[in-house]
């Protein structure tokens, strides 16, 4: 089947499968009481990872789908930081013992929108209530356009070991369209600052499918990115969901690349990165051969969570801040999304949990299958079901959905082993969706699969 026919058949709106069940399936049956009970059940010694959401930026990028807003008031930033400290203390009290921490991730938004003393106060609260040491990887998302002059000292004080820098596309036309003006020099300087501050790994984020974007603009961007020599590169498809993020309505005046153009951009960008020596990781990551993520490719060490591909194997992920999601063995719990509601919840001496989902044994089984597909591009369904002590017949709904994918050459099947072909790589989310028992075929809230 030709490419255009494949796109017509398979380019639909699907989850990114950074969790299963996905956030689209969360509801209010999981609340603060549920989350407190789950926290109290975490065994002593369980390894944890911590996520800190700072929902502020100096300005809004029109393409962005993150939960963020523009706040310049120091008082408002102080109030938010105080709420995060209070939430850390409250969560720690609910757990009842200090957990060893594998990873800490500062995300947003732009975490450095908080003045350094406020970030250090949050960091100090984490260190009081959790066991963070030299083996803990501490990562941060940075906006190269707004790094403070004190950034090197600030990042070193937090013990940052990995930094992720947004790029998207260096084309002036694309940057004008998306409201994000960022030079190659700014990006290179930010990477240098992070490295000097102690970051052993630098990740650059690229986006395809943006307004005014072409294969040529992506080629030029990647050429500039390669000169910065990042350890990892993420290549994401632009998620156009204006019904969820009103700011994206600004882009309505542009003709966005269609599915065929997006696929051309994706495949050309990926080819350039592989030609430059990067190894392809799952759907949308690339890493230098000596990077731990590249070395973990094809092994159970490679995982997928809300930050994308990761080597984080902690059984517990605890999120702090507005909209942050926690993943515990019992299920997922998400804080209220709006910042003012988060502040009100924390300031009334409670947790800010708004929704979530309790996972069943069937959810756990399908989660493992989807994760291995997304990470390895192959999965032995029977082996995973056997290891879970479950009857593989509970997955019988998936096989009929996989048949057309096999006929079209996007997957190969050998018994219960499903393997993505080279032609099927861009359609990986379509394969994973066959194992999603919650997915509504008519759902429109997700981003395009390609």
Annotated ligand binding at 266? The verdict is no
Annotated ligand binding at 205? The verdict is yes
Annotated ligand binding at 434? The verdict is no
CATH number of 59's domain: 3.20.20
Beta bridge partners of 53: 107
Mean pLDDT value of segment 329-348: 97
Query: Within this chain, do residues 282 and 395 fall inside the same structural domain, yes or no?
Result: no
For residue 138, name the pLDDT band (cuts at 50, 70, 90). Answer: very high
The two three-digit tokens of residue 29, written as one number? 């049956």
Instruction: Identify which has the larger pLDDT, 1 or 406.
Output: 406
Annotated ligand binding at 325? The verdict is yes
In the prediction, which pLDDT does 129 show? 98
Annotated ligand binding at 168? The verdict is yes
Alpha helices in 96-183 (DSSP H): 116-129, 151-158, 172-178
Q: Is the pLDDT of residue 124 over 90?
A: yes
Identify whether the C-beta of residue 216 lies closer than 8 Å to the C-beta of residue 174: no
Query: Within this chain, do residues 3 and 96 fall inside the same structural domain, yes or no?
Result: no
In the prediction, which pLDDT does 349 show? 86
Strand 411-414 relative to strand 447-448: parallel, antiparallel, unpaired? unpaired
Q: Is residue 387 part of a domain?
A: yes
Annotated ligand binding at 422? The verdict is no
Query: Within this chain, do residues 147 and 209 fall inside the same structural domain, yes or no?
Result: yes
In the prediction, which pLDDT does 442 show? 65
Identify whether the C-beta of residue 81 lies closer than 8 Å to the C-beta of residue 113: no
81 Rama class: left (phi>0) / alpha (psi -120 to 50) / beta: alpha
Mean pLDDT value of segment 262-266: 94
Annotated ligand binding at 57? The verdict is yes
Count the domains in the chain: 2
The rounded mean pLDDT for the chain is 93
pLDDT in tens, 314-327: 999 999 999 999 99
Q: What is the chain's percent helix, strand, coil content, to nearest 5?
A: 40, 20, 35
Q: Is residue 443 part of a domain?
A: no
Write the secondary structure of 248-313 as one string of H (helix), E (strand) and C (coil).
HHHHHHCCCCCHHHHHHHHHHHHHHHHHCCCEEECCCEEECCCCHHHHHCCCCCCEEECCEEECCC
| Cα distance between residue 421 and residue 398, in whole Å | 18
Q: Is residue 261 part of a domain?
A: yes
Beta bridge partners of 141: 164
User: What are the backbone dihedrals phi and psi of residue 359, each rounded to the nearest 5 degrees, phi first?
Assistant: -90, 140
From 104-108, 154-158, 211-215, 305-309, the region with the lowest mean pLDDT? 305-309
What b/e readout covers 121-134, taking b as 16+ CB neighbours within 10 angstroms? bbbebbbebbbbee
Q: In the listed set 336, 358, 380, which residue is the last one of a domain according to the structure? A: 358
Mean pLDDT value of segment 240-249: 76
| Cα distance between residue 275 and residue 194, in whole Å | 26
pLDDT in tens, 74-103: 999 999 999 999 999 999 999 999 999 999
Mean pLDDT value of segment 134-146: 96
Q: Is residue 440 part of a domain?
A: no
Query: Within this chain, do residues 164 and 188 fall inside the same structural domain, yes or no?
Result: yes
Domain hosting 143: range is 20-358
Annotated ligand binding at 110? The verdict is yes
Residue 297 CB contacts under 8 Å (≥ 6 apart), including other chains: 279, 281, 287
- The model carries a pTM of 0.94
Query: Within this chain, do residues 409 and 333 fall inside the same structural domain, yes or no?
Result: no
Q: Is residue 210 part of a domain?
A: yes
Query: Within this chain, do residues 61 and 75 fall inside the same structural domain, yes or no?
Result: yes
Q: Is the pLDDT of residue 2 over 80?
A: no
CA 275 from centroid of its chain's CA atoms: 25
CA atoms in the 13 A half-sphere facing the CB of 428: 23
The two three-digit tokens of residue 431, written as one number? 């394969």
Query: Within this chain, do residues 86 and 222 fall inside the same structural domain, yes or no?
Result: yes
Q: Is residue 407 part of a domain?
A: yes
Query: Within this chain, do residues 28 and 2 fall inside the same structural domain, yes or no?
Result: no
Annotated ligand binding at 430? The verdict is no
Q: In the listed set 358, 390, 425, which residue is the last one of a domain according to the structure? A: 358
Q: Is residue 441 part of a domain?
A: no
Mean pLDDT value of segment 106-123: 96
Q: Is the pLDDT of residue 443 over 70?
A: no
Query: Within this chain, do residues 385 and 397 fall inside the same structural domain, yes or no?
Result: yes
Query: Within this chain, do residues 341 and 421 fall inside the same structural domain, yes or no?
Result: no
For residue 33, name the pLDDT band (cuts at 50, 70, 90). Answer: very high
Query: Within this chain, do residues 175 and 299 fall inside the same structural domain, yes or no?
Result: yes
pLDDT in tens, 44-62: 999 999 999 999 988 888 7
Q: Is the pLDDT of residue 1 over 70?
A: no
CA atoms in the 13 A half-sphere facing the CB of 435: 30
Annotated ligand binding at 149? The verdict is no
Annotated ligand binding at 66? The verdict is no
Q: Is residue 164 part of a domain?
A: yes
| Cα distance between residue 130 and residue 90, in whole Å | 12
- pLDDT > 90: what percent of the chain? 83
Strand 232-237 relative to strand 285-287: parallel, antiparallel, unpaired? antiparallel
For residue 217, name the pLDDT band (cuts at 50, 70, 90). Answer: very high
Annotated ligand binding at 176? The verdict is no
Instruction: Identify which has the larger pLDDT, 231 or 1.
Output: 231
CATH number of 368's domain: 1.10.10.920
Annotated ligand binding at 45? The verdict is no
Torsion on CA atoms 277, 283, 284, 289, rounded to nearest 10? -30
The two three-digit tokens of residue 64, written as one number? 């962005």
Query: Within this chain, do residues 235 and 382 fall inside the same structural domain, yes or no?
Result: no
What b/e readout covers 4-39, taking b as 16+ CB neighbours within 10 angstroms? eebbeebbbebbbbbbbbbbebbeeebebebbbebb
The two three-digit tokens of residue 10, written as one number? 């398979």
Identify whether the C-beta of residue 54 lies closer than 8 Å to the C-beta of residue 109: yes
Residue 334 CB contacts under 8 Å (≥ 6 apart), including other chains: 23, 26, 319, 323, 324, 325, 326, 353, 354, 355, 356
Question: What is the DSSP track for 13-71?
Answer: EE---SSSS-GGG-BTTS-HHHHHHHHHTPPTT--EEEEEEE-EESS--TT--SS-EE-
Q: In the listed set 358, 378, 398, which residue is the last one of a domain according to the structure? A: 358
């Amino acid at each position: 089947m030709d490419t255009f026919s494949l796109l017509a058949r398979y380019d639909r709106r699907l989850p990114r499968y950074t969790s299963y069940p996905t956030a689209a399936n969360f509801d209010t049956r999981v609340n603060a009481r549920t989350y407190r009970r789950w926290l109290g059940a975490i065994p002593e010694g369980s390894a944890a990872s911590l996520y800190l959401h700072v929902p502020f930026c100096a300005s809004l990028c029109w393409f962005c789908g993150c939960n963020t807003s523009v706040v310049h008031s120091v008082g408002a930033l102080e109030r938010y930081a105080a709420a995060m400290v209070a939430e850390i203390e409250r969560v720690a009290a609910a757990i009842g013992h200090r957990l060893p921490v594998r990873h800490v991730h500062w995300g947003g938004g732009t975490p450095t929108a908080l003045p350094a003393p406020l970030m250090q106060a949050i960091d100090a609260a984490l260190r009081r209530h959790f066991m963070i040491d030299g083996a803990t990887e501490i990562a941060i998302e940075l906006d190269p356009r707004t790094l403070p002059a004190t950034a090197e000292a600030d990042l070193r004080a937090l013990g940052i070991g990995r930094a992720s820098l947004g790029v998207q596309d260096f084309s002036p036309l694309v940057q004008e369209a998306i409201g994000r003006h960022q030079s190659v020099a700014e990006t290179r300087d930010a990477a240098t600052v992070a490295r000097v501050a102690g970051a052993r790994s630098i990740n650059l984020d690229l986006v395809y499918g943006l307004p005014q974007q072409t294969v040529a603009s992506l080629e030029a961007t990647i050429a500039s990115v390669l000169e910065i020599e990042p350890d990892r590169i993420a290549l994401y498809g632009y998620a156009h969901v204006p019904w969820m993020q009103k700011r994206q309505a600004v882009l309505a005046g542009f003709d966005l690349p269609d599915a065929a153009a997006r696929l051309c951009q994706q495949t050309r960008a990926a080819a350039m990165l592989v030609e430059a020596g990067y190894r392809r990781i799952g759907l949308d990551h690339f890493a230098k051969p000596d990077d731990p993520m590249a070395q973990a490719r094809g092994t159970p060490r490679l995982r997928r969570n809300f930050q994308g591909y990761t080597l984080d194997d902690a059984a517990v992920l605890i999120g702090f801040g507005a909209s942050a999601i926690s993943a515990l063995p019992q299920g997922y719990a998400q804080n209220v999304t709006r910042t003012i509601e988060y502040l009100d919840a924390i300031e009334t001496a409670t947790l800010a949990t708004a929704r979530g989902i309790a996972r069943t044994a069937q959810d756990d089984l399908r989660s493992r299958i989807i994760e291995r597909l997304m990470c390895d591009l192959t999965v032995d369904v029977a082996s995973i079901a056997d290891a879970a002590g479950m009857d593989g017949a509970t997955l019988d709904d998936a096989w009929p959905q996989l048949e057309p994918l096999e006929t079209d050459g996007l997957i190969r099947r050998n018994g219960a082993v499903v393997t993505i072909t080279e032609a099927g790589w861009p359609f990986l989310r379509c394969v994973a969706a066959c194992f999603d028992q919650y997915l509504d075929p008519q759902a429109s809230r997700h981003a395009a699969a390609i």
